[in-house]
Structures are given as structure tokens and as C-alpha cells.
């Protein structure tokens, strides 16, 4: 691999750095990936081509998935104004978890010859998947990307998407450095490839303090892989906190289901989640997806032109600029859903926030499971499939997996992240903005109803008025079920108390 001198010249403008370059992007089908792809195509017109690594998913082959990606709302304006620009994007079938990224020899050779900037955004973000699966995707996947980068004819920079919670096992302020594990990264990789599940868990258990879940540990291990095996390469590590909707981008308010806290927001807005265990005084750190994407683009420019020392680690967080508590965050979302009702809603929104686990358990039984069992019974009697109880069980499992993050808070140092704005001129600061000045919790919801695809009413089989009527009827039904249950419970307690009292008198 050669490092050409021209790749180290100090390009004055960011777009100039990307002129004539070929990029290689993993995770292009993910939420961050599509926003990053859109900004690159729109703001860096001199890019020669972009190779995106995609795998077959749900029976849809990799090349067909490209069409699905560019049908998303975020690409609306590009489709209208520059439809030919998508010809710059070429799909390479593959999988980061496989040797040589699962590419065939011809594709691998072509990418290695042409690409000089690599964005590795692919990852599994599930908190519920088994340890081995998560580490194969996120750790071995990163190791495979590093191995492939060494095959490139020219490498200007490798930008890796981590998470601000890769070191969430720590209580002290999390700095913009790579925190080292007790053993070299290769030992974990060898155990993944050669050991069984028990020996893998035993090795990971020796890392202390313990991580909240396999996902956060996998991201720390991936950073250690970069430190151990790619220290001689120009690298940037971006650590975003909870990624939320587009702030200032081309489709303000754009967000996708399955990203960040969207599932929680939809559950509240559709009246499905009615009780939530959370410490309302604890801080939540969220960051707009367009700011995270811009941080990737600017960080690549910084490390690719020697404006920053490698590895450049960026805590892409907002807590020190725009602090926000869980209470403020959830109440803002709740107020928005009252003002702008969601399509396909279950009931009218109602939410009780509580910190005490016993209080939460009792309320969730009353608000969630009592109506769910009754309605499932009615569905079964009518010959339809019961589903509410299983959905609430899945909800409880999901909420339990994020419990650490709603009852704790972390402080992040952000000197490197803030320095990005200082390295750009005024025009680049406007186009590739990373400065969070003016950003706040109200900005979270201002444009969401206009930008989020799940707010488009054509996805609902019912018109607005009809949907409101349906949710009102469901509200009456669930209220009736809860009152009947409550009266029955009070009657039972009263009868038991009377019997006990009479026995005591006799």
C-alpha cells in the first residue's frame, strides 16, 4: 500500500479533498449510512464514485437493495434535481463478518485499486443478540475492514463509527482516547474463532468494570482492534451518543424506524407504552444524525490531510452544549404526539413516568397486561390471532436491555469534536456543520412530523378522522377493562378482609 504525497497535501476546502476520489462505504443501508451517503453526493460533487458494501437481506439481493435505498425520503431532492448522480454509487455484494468482506476476487481487486477513503459504519446495534453474534459482526467485522484497507493501493483515511457508550462501564468522564482492554485485541479474536461460548464469556468476564451489554463491549473491542492492528494507518473514530432526527439537513426531521430511540417514541405516541420506568432527573445525550454524518466527512478530511493526528477520537455528543434530562426529552415527545397524532395508533397517548421498580411493575400490570390479556381473549374468541401480550413481553425485554441508560448518565469530553469547526472555513462550517450552537430539545420535535416517513398518513388504512374514532373506542374499551379489574380486585380484597376480621372476632 502506497501513501501518495498528494493525499497528504493540505486541501483548503473539504470538497476539494474528495475531488476525484473513490470511496468505500459499509453500512450504507443503515440510518446513519443513508444520511452520510446523501450529504456526500450532494455536497461533494467532485467524488468519482462510491462503492457500497451490501449483503442479501430478507431474500432481496444486494444490487436490488440499492434501489430500495434511493427510494427513501432523504434522497427526494437529489432524485428531483440530479437523478443521474446515483450512477456514481456502485453496489459490491459482501458481508463485513466474512474474510475479504465477503467480496468476490474481481470486486475486491477493483475496490482495492480505486478506493482511497473508507467509512466503516456497518454494525449490529441490537442489545438483545447473543455475545458471539454481536462480536462477530462488530469486532471481527472491523478486523476484516482493517485487513482489507491494507490491500488498498492508496489509503487516505479510514473512519470508523463507534459509540459514545463504548466505555459505558466507566463512571468517570469519558475522554477522547482509546481505553485499553486487559488483553490484546487478538486474544479476543482468537477466542471468537477457536473457542466455545463458555470460554468466550469467561474471557470477557475478566474485563472490569463490566459493560452494560454485548453491543457496548463489542465497540470497545473494535476500538482496541484499531489501536493494536492499525496504529500506522490514518484513522478517525467517531463516537456518537443517541442518534436522533435530521436537524438542519435537506429533509429536516427525517428519521427512520429502528434507529436510536424511535421505537420508544413511536410506542409512546401510538398509546402502546403507557408506563415507563425512568429517572426523570438523569441526563440523556442525543445528537442529530446530520451532525454525526458531517463529523465523519470532516474527520476524514482532517486525518487525510494531516490536520489531525491519528487516531483521531471524537466524542460526538451534545450534553455539555445542550443538556437535557429524560423528563424533558420524554415530555417533549409526548406533547408533540398530542399535537400531531401518529397514524396506525393503538390508543390516545397517555404516559406515567416512575422511578421505583415495584411501582412500575404494578402500574405496567394494570395499564399494559390487564387490557392486553382481555383483548387477546376477545381476539381469540373471534378467531383472530392474539398478539398484545406477546408484544408487551417483547417491550419489557427491550426496555430491560436499555435500563442502564435511563437510570444512569455519563459525562464526555468533547475537545476534539469541537475542534472540527475551528479547522474549517466559514463556507465549510455552513455546509458541513458540526457546531451545536442553537440546538436544544425543542429542535428534536419541531420538524419531526414533516420529515419522518412514519408520520405520512398514507401508510394508514384509515383516514385521520376514522383513526381518531378507532383510538377513542379502544380507549373506552381498555378503560372499561381496567375499571372492571380494579372493582374485582377491591371486592376480592374486601371479602378476604371481612373473612379474616370475622375469624379474628370468633
- The enclosing domain of 52 has a CATH number of 3.40.50.720
Name the phi and psi angles at 96, rounded to 5.
-60, -25
Give the pLDDT of residue 4.
46
Residue 150: partners with Cβ closer than 8 Å, 6 or more residues away:
1, 233
- Please report, rounded to a whole number, the percentage of residues in the chain having pLDDT higher than 70: 97
| Alpha-carbon gap, residue 391 to 367, rounded angstroms | 14
- Same-domain status, 185 and 291: yes
Average pLDDT (184-198) is 92
- Same-domain status, 363 and 419: no
Give the pLDDT of residue 8.
52
| Alpha-carbon gap, residue 161 to 36, rounded angstroms | 12
Q: If you average pLDDT over every residue of the chain, what do you get? A: 92
Listed range (15-24, 58-67, 155-164, 410-419) with the worst mean pLDDT: 58-67
Domain assignment present for residue 269? The answer is no
In tens, the pLDDT along 141-151 reads 999 999 999 99
pLDDT band at 1 (very low <50, low <70, confident <90, very high): very low
Is the Cα torsion angle 262, 267, 271, 274 positive or negative in sign?
negative
In tens, the pLDDT along 458-482 reads 899 999 999 999 999 999 999 999 9
Q: What are 477's three cell numbers?
A: 374499551
> For 182-333, where are the E strands, in sequence order?
235-240, 242-244, 275-277, 286-288, 312-316
Give the pLDDT of residue 484.
93
> Where a domain ends, among 419, 447, 475?
447
Listed range (212-216, 347-351, 406-410) with the worst mean pLDDT: 406-410
- Same-domain status, 186 and 215: yes
Residue 238: partners with Cβ closer than 8 Å, 6 or more residues away:
159, 160, 161, 162, 292, 295, 296, 299, 314, 316
The boundaries of the domain holding residue 218 are: 5-256+285-322+410-447
Give the pLDDT of residue 10.
56
Domain assignment present for residue 455? The answer is no
Q: What are 85's three cell numbers?
A: 448522480
Give the pLDDT of residue 2.
46
In tens, the pLDDT along 393-404 reads 999 998 888 888
Number of domains, the chain: 2
In tens, the pLDDT along 226-283 reads 999 999 999 999 999 999 999 999 999 999 987 777 888 899 999 999 999 999 999 9
pTM of the model as a whole: 0.92
- Same-domain status, 128 and 230: yes
Domain assignment present for residue 458? The answer is no
Long-range contacts of 99-105 (CB under 8 A, 24+ apart): 99/144, 100/144, 100/147, 100/148, 101/26, 101/53, 101/144, 101/145, 101/148, 102/55, 103/53
- Same-domain status, 175 and 315: yes
Residue 9 has pLDDT above 80, yes or no: no
Tell me which residue of 118, 358, 350 sits closest to 226, measured CA to CA: 118
- Same-domain status, 312 and 330: no
CA angle 448, 450, 454 (to 5 degrees): 70
Element (H, E) at 477: helix 464-505
Tell me which residue of 359, 392, 398 sits closest to 478, measured CA to CA: 392
Residue 393's SS3 state is helix
Domain assignment present for residue 377? The answer is yes
- Same-domain status, 335 and 203: no
| Alpha-carbon gap, residue 260 to 296, rounded angstroms | 18
| Alpha-carbon gap, residue 448 to 425, rounded angstroms | 30
Domain assignment present for residue 499? The answer is yes
Q: What are 125's three cell numbers?
A: 446495534
Residue 17 has pLDDT above 50, yes or no: yes
In tens, the pLDDT along 419-453 reads 999 999 999 999 999 999 989 888 777 888 889 99
Residue 375 has pLDDT above 50, yes or no: yes
Domain assignment present for residue 276? The answer is no
Average pLDDT (79-87) is 92
Q: What are 290's three cell numbers?
A: 446530520
Domain assignment present for residue 143? The answer is yes
The full length of the chain comes to 506
- Please report, rounded to a whole number, the percentage of residues in the chain having pLDDT higher than 90: 77
Q: Which residues of 285-311 are buried (b: 16+ CB within 10 A; e: fewer)?
A: bbbbbbbbbbbbbbbbbbbbbebbebb
Residue 161 has pLDDT above 80, yes or no: yes
Given a contact cutoff of 8 angstroms between Cβ atoms, the answer to whether 162 and 295 are in contact is no
Domain assignment present for residue 363? The answer is yes
- Same-domain status, 31 and 155: yes
Residue with cell 469547526: 421
Residue with cell 370468633: 506
Residue 5 has pLDDT above 50, yes or no: no
Burial (CB count <10 Å: 0-12, 13-18, 19+), residue 506: exposed
CB atoms within 10 A of CB 188: 25
Average pLDDT (183-205) is 92
CB atoms within 10 A of CB 413: 15
- Same-domain status, 290 and 347: no
Given a contact cutoff of 8 angstroms between Cβ atoms, the answer to whether 340 and 268 are in contact is no
- Same-domain status, 105 and 78: yes
Give the pLDDT of residue 186.
96
Residue with cell 489501536: 227
Give the pLDDT of residue 506.
67
55 vs 26, 103, 173, 219, 493, CA distance in Å?
10, 10, 38, 21, 58
- Same-domain status, 479 and 424: no
- Same-domain status, 20 and 129: yes
Amino acid at each position: 500500500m502506497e501513501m501518495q504525497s498528494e493525499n497528504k497535501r493540505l486541501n483548503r476546502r473539504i470538497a476539494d479533498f474528495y475531488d476525484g476520489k473513490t470511496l468505500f462505504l459499509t453500512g450504507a443501508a443503515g440510518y446513519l449510512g443513508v444520511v452520510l451517503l446523501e450529504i456526500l453526493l450532494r455536497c461533494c460533487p467532485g467524488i468519482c464514485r462510491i462503492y457500497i458494501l451490501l449483503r442479501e437481506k430478507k431474500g432481496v439481493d444486494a444490487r436490488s437493495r440499492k434501489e430500495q435505498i434511493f427510494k427513501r425520503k432523504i434522497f427526494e431532492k437529489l432524485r428531483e434535481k440530479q437523478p443521474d448522480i446515483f450512477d456514481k454509487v456502485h453496489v459490491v455484494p459482501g458481508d463485513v463478518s466474512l474474510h475479504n468482506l465477503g467480496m468476490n476476487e474481481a470486486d475486491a481487486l477493483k475496490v482495492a485499486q480505486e478506493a482511497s477513503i473508507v467509512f466503516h459504519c456497518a454494525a449490529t446495534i441490537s442489545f438483545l443478540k447473543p455475545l458471539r453474534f454481536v462480536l462477530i459482526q462488530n469486532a471481527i467485522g472491523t478486523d476484516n475492514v482493517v485487513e482489507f484497507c491494507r490491500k488498498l493501493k492508496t489509503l487516505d483515511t479510514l473512519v470508523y463509527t463507534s459509540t459514545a457508550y463504548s466505555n459505558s462501564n466507566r463512571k468517570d468522564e469519558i475522554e477522547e482516547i482509546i481505553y485499553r482492554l486487559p488483553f490484546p485485541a487478538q486474544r479476543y479474536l482468537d477466542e471468537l474463532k477457536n473457542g466455545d461460548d463458555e470460554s468466550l464469556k469467561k474471557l470477557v468476564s475478566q474485563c472490569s468494570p463490566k459493560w452494560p451489554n454485548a453491543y457496548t463491549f463489542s465497540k470497545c473491542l473494535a476500538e482496541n482492534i484499531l489501536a493494536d492492528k492499525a496504529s500506522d494507518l490514518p484513522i478517525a473514530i467517531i463516537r456518537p451518543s443517541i442518534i436522533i432526527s435530521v436537524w438542519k439537513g435537506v429533509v429536516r426531521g427525517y428519521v427512520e424506524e429502528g434507529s436510536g430511540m424511535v421505537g420508544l417514541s413511536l410506542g409512546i405516541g401510538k398509546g402502546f407504552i403507557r408506563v415507563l420506568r425512568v429517572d426523570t432527573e438523569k441526563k440523556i445525550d442525543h445528537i442529530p444524525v446530520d451532525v454525526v454524518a458531517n463529523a465523519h466527512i470532516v474527520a476524514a478530511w482532517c486525518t487525510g490531510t494531516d490536520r489531525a493526528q491519528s487516531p483521531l477520537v471524537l466524542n460526538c455528543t451534545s450534553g455539555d452544549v445542550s443538556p437535557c434530562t429524560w423528563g424533558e426529552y420524554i415530555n417533549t415527545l409526548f406533547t408533540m404526539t398530542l399535537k400531531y397524532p401518529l397514524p396506525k395508533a393503538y390508543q390516545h397517548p397517555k404516559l406515567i413516568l416512575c422511578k421505583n421498580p415495584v411501582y412500575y411493575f404494578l402500574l405496567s400490570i394494570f395499564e399494559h397486561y390487564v387490557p392486553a390479556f382481555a383483548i387477546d381473549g376477545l381476539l381469540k374468541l373471534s378467531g383472530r390471532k392474539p398478539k398484545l401480550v406477546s408484544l408487551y413481553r417483547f417491550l419489557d425485554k427491550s426496555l430491560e436491555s436499555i435500563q442502564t441508560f435511563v437510570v444512569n448518565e455519563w459525562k464526555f469530553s468533547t475537545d476534539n469534536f469541537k475542534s472540527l469547526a475551528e479547522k474549517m472555513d466559514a463556507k465549510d462550517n455552513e455546509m458541513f456543520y458540526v457546531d451545536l450552537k442553537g440546538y436544544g430539545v425543542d429542535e428534536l420535535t419541531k420538524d419531526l412530523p414533516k420529515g419522518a416517513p412514519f408520520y405520512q398518513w398514507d401508510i394508514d388504512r384509515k383516514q385521520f378522522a376514522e383513526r381518531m374514532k378507532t383510538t377513542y373506542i379502544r380507549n373506552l374499551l381498555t378503560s372499561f377493562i381496567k375499571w372492571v379489574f380494579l372493582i374485582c380486585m377491591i371486592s376480592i380484597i374486601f371479602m378476604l378482609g371481612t373473612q379474616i376480621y370475622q375469624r379474628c372476632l370468633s
